[in-house]
A and B are shown apart, each in its own frame.
Chain A
Amino acid sequence: MEHAPLLTMRNITKTFPGVLANDDVSFDVHAGEVHTLLGENGAGKSTLMKILFGLYQPDSGEIRLRGEVASITSPTSAIEQRVGMVHQHFMLVPTLTVAENVALGLPSNRGFRTDLDAVSERIVEISEQYGLSVDPSIEIWKLSVGERQRVEIIKALYRDAELLVLDEPTAVLTPQEVDDLFVILRQMTANGTGIIFISHKLHEVLELSDRITVLRNGKVTGDTTPSETNRQQLAEMMVGREVKLAPDKPHVDLGLARLQLRDVSVKGDRGTIAVDGVSLDVHAGEIVGIAGVSGNGQRELAETIAGLRPAESGSSVTIDDADLTKAGPARTRAAGLAYVPEERMKDGAVGEFEVSENLLLINHGDPKFRRGPLFDFAKIREHCQRLVDQFSVKTPSLDTPTSSLSGGNIQKLIMARELDSRPSVILAAQPTRGVDIGAAEYIHSELIEQRNVGVAILMISEDLDEVLGLADRIAVMFEGRIVTVIDREAATREALGLAMAGG
């Protein structure tokens, strides 16, 4: 008789008011395999995993663990039944040590007193077995993102997890760290652990998975293996229509340098140098991509260019020869900058504002929207309706609160507002982070359109696929410096990955 799968989720249905989050989803994982769950935001992956981890109860359907019907009512009961989860946003207490984080929630051998020496011993054993080297006595805040992830995995292994869910584990890692992670995961499957891998990075999914299940709108739309499929097919299963993964880019002759950065140094929030002597030109008709793991000065650099953060003396920022080194955001925008910030809900739009108000955020002072001392609301509506139509922002109305739109539509709204200002330079930070494939495709084509008509575009992105797909030149940032600038034709994923890690 064949072994029962480690996990079987059968005919799972879960509804929330107005939303069918999981519609008759069946999914299983065998011991020793990596089974990937692939799907866009809102496809139902997280709901399914929250059901598995006891945070939600399904409306119908059953969960079996090792062939037996299981009732998982809370994260604690999931852990007791040897289900582990590495959340996308790490569940670690930064001020506690590695050993304390691992021991948290577990009874101590010494009763009321902690027994961290014993915990540390076990951690060292586990680290040696899986090559997860980490010092148990160090506080979490002193660790790199990759090391923190190892602590999360150790936490699950310490609790004897047989089934491990990894929610977008590679989103925050350098390519080298991703390779290291995959080695660790393969070692775990070799020892019989079953792994559920959640990701939307298609090449990683194809590299790591034994099986792939694709979800769309709460339903299973594909069940396949890497040898039977490819990136194009997977993307289409996710989106439900044909998609262009690599946008077409016609040749454009380079114009003059429109954005010029000279020896730009900037202090970060903690008062230490975050950007260290960056010099870069972006010419009319080109997209320069800044690749790098976030936290290496990209955000500070973007804020300085946008006039939101002062540069150190000796720095120089110019757009079309206008010196903007000491300019605030108003003068910088007047000089021709459009800015699509990294945190769209914090810096890009006001969540409580209506769609039309956000569309008007940068030019509500324009005389054409005025009648005497008052707003001319008819003109404003006309203007906003045109932008919404032109950029296909899906919104019930112009009066809808912006925060109720999807991430992709909010990003399209911001793009509409920024591009309508007819900029000479576009600064786009993480333009498609957390945005569905359809909206990303659209945003990419808009950026290329702007490039083709002679706008200079500086795009900051952590997503190497995005950088490789869009950029004409690629600059890699590491610890505040630009460590290399490569032409797209000469760039390889490996070389970029190495540069991103400072190598």
Chain B
Amino acid sequence: MSQFFTVSVLVATLATAIKFAVPYLLAALGETIGQRSGVLNLGVDGIMLLGAFGGYYTVIQTGSHLQGILVGLGIGLAIGIVYAYVTVFLHAQQGISGIGIFLFGLGFSDLLFQELVGTPKPIRPLPTLDKLPGVGGIFEPLVDIDIVGPLLFDHNLMTYMAFLLVPATTWLLMKTTFGMNVRAVGENPQAADSLGVSVAKTRLIAILIGSSLAGIAGATLSLQLAIFQHNLTNGIGFIAVALVYFGAWRPRWVMAGALLYGLVTATRIRWQSLDIIPQGASDIAAMAPAIITILALVLLASRVRGPAALTRPFSRH
């Protein structure tokens, strides 16, 4: 146990936690915006899988990480259009529609992988700041700073983007007319409608932002891991949905949830490699993040109230 509580191991664990948190955070921030507008998307994991494959395959083909991320975004956007059409315009049940999206993503990403790639091929991972072509040299000395270096500078660009999106999402929701419409439509769509706010349009845009971020989250995951395989996400998208509840629909708390989840995962892996967790108990330890999330949900869920119109389709009569 004592070998864990050394500065270098703790710092490395925290740095890993930050990295792990990124796909959760991206997906959960997107889902926060969607849920604030009153739409639950249980298909996040499916969108992430397709985004992950799309990003991975693009990097195999073109070698460009930027294009990989953009393809992830595009896939998220495309599925978002389908999901919005079904739930907002056809008033379908959101729960079951989302599960449909998940199953489609799970199956189709694997099919594409088998057909187009076959055996796993590693790709070049997303470069950390100091490895960025051209400008990497500027960051090299920063990474070497004690403690601060590995924590703040030894990350790829998507990590910074994810964390910058936290205040950006808060700003969008709280300080813009669009955000105000989103909150109104998620809480009392009749009231918004009576003032001329288009419930359908507002929810459509919120869903598209959410699904695009899910696609980006998926691509970020496969590019970070530099690999794709069947069910690569292993439920990250579902955890992201849970984190939105955990974070009480507030970006800052959603971020705290994502970091906690990343930390528990990173700690588990570190403890396993240090043999703190006996070999036989590794499967049980792997459940720790999920159990902690469930406990947190049980404790928090009774205290915070979500958007009142969440999961309720809107029609005028």
A residues lining the B interface (CB < 8 Å): 55, 74-76, 79, 85, 87, 90-96, 100-101, 103-108, 112-114, 155
The 7 A-B residue pairs whose C-beta atoms are closest, nearest first, are A105-B195, A76-B196, A91-B191, A105-B196, A91-B194, A93-B184, A93-B188
B180 touches A103 (CB 8 A): yes
B175 touches A75 (CB 8 A): no
B180 touches A75 (CB 8 A): no
B177 touches A108 (CB 8 A): yes
Nearest chain B CB to A95's CB is how many angstroms away?
5
Nearest chain B CB to A359's CB is how many angstroms away?
31
Chain B: interface size category: 20 to 34
A75: contacting residue among B178, B187, B188, B196, CB under 8 A: B196
**Which chain A positions have C-beta within 8 A of B181?**
104
Is B8's CB within 8 Å of the partner chain A?
Answer: no
Nearest-neighbor residue (CB-CB) of B309 within chain A: A93
**Which chain A positions have C-beta within 8 A of B175?**
113-114
**Which chain A positions have C-beta within 8 A of B193?**
75
* Extra A-B contacts (8), CB below 8 Å, given A100-B180, A104-B191, A105-B192: A75-B193, A75-B196, A92-B188, A93-B192, A105-B195, A112-B177, A112-B178, A114-B177
Is B183's CB within 8 Å of the partner chain A?
Answer: yes
* A497–B195 alpha-carbon span in the complex (Å): 34
A105 touches B187 (CB 8 A): no
Nearest-neighbor residue (CB-CB) of A53 within chain B: B194
Nearest chain B CB to A3's CB is how many angstroms away?
30
A104: contacting residue among B190, B197, B316, CB under 8 A: B197
Q: A interface, by DSSP: helix, strand, loop or mixed?
A: loop
Nearest chain B CB to A373's CB is how many angstroms away?
39
* A105–B180 alpha-carbon span in the complex (Å): 9
Is B176's CB within 8 Å of the partner chain A?
Answer: yes
A91 touches B177 (CB 8 A): no
Q: B interface, by DSSP: helix, strand, loop or mixed?
A: helix
A113-B175, A114-B175 as given contacts; A96 in contact with B194, CB under 8 Å: no
A91 touches B196 (CB 8 A): no
**Which chain A positions have C-beta within 8 A of B316?**
55
A104 touches B308 (CB 8 A): no
Contacts between the two chains (Cβ within 8 Å), count = 66
Q: Which of B178, B187, B195 has the most CB of A within 10 A?
A: B195
A94 touches B187 (CB 8 A): yes
Q: Could you name 12 residue pairs across A and B whose Cβ atoms are closer than 8 Å?
A: A74-B196, A79-B195, A90-B191, A91-B194, A93-B187, A95-B308, A96-B184, A103-B180, A104-B181, A105-B195, A112-B176, A114-B177
A75-B194, A91-B195, A105-B197 as given contacts; A96 in contact with B178, CB under 8 Å: no
**Which chain B positions have C-beta within 8 A of A91?**
188, 190-191, 194-195
B191: contacting residue among A92, A107, A108, A112, CB under 8 A: A92
* A93–B194 alpha-carbon span in the complex (Å): 11
Nearest chain B CB to A37's CB is how many angstroms away?
19
**Which chain B positions have C-beta within 8 A of A90?**
191
* A107–B181 alpha-carbon span in the complex (Å): 11
* A79–B193 alpha-carbon span in the complex (Å): 12
One digit per residue, 1 when the CB lies within 8 angstroms of any chain A CB and 0 when it does not, for chain B 19-49 equals: 0000000000000000000000000000000
Nearest chain A CB to B50's CB is how many angstroms away?
31
Nearest chain A CB to B253's CB is how many angstroms away?
16
* A93–B180 alpha-carbon span in the complex (Å): 10
Nearest-neighbor residue (CB-CB) of A91 within chain B: B191
B177 touches A113 (CB 8 A): yes
* A85–B196 alpha-carbon span in the complex (Å): 13
Nearest-neighbor residue (CB-CB) of A75 within chain B: B194
**Which chain B positions have C-beta within 8 A of A155?**
195
Nearest-neighbor residue (CB-CB) of A111 within chain B: B177
A94-B187, A94-B188, A95-B187 as given contacts; A75 in contact with B176, CB under 8 Å: no
A91-B190, A104-B180, A114-B177 as given contacts; A75 in contact with B308, CB under 8 Å: no
B192 touches A104 (CB 8 A): yes
**Which chain A positions have C-beta within 8 A of B190?**
91
One digit per residue, 1 when the CB lies within 8 angstroms of any chain A CB and 0 when it does not, for chain B 152-184 equals: 000000000000000000000001111011011
Which residues in chain B, 280-317, are within 8 Å of chain A measured between CB atoms? 308, 316
* A463–B180 alpha-carbon span in the complex (Å): 37
**Which chain B positions have C-beta within 8 A of A108?**
177
B187 touches A104 (CB 8 A): no
Nearest-neighbor residue (CB-CB) of B181 within chain A: A104
* A67–B184 alpha-carbon span in the complex (Å): 36
* A3–B237 alpha-carbon span in the complex (Å): 65
B191 touches A75 (CB 8 A): no
**Which chain B positions have C-beta within 8 A of A74?**
196
A96: contacting residue among B176, B177, B180, B196, CB under 8 A: B180
* A92–B195 alpha-carbon span in the complex (Å): 10
**Which chain A positions have C-beta within 8 A of B177?**
103, 107-108, 112-114
* A74–B183 alpha-carbon span in the complex (Å): 22
**Which chain B positions have C-beta within 8 A of A96?**
180, 183-184, 187
A113-B176, A114-B177 as given contacts; A75 in contact with B195, CB under 8 Å: yes
* A91–B195 alpha-carbon span in the complex (Å): 9
* A96–B180 alpha-carbon span in the complex (Å): 8
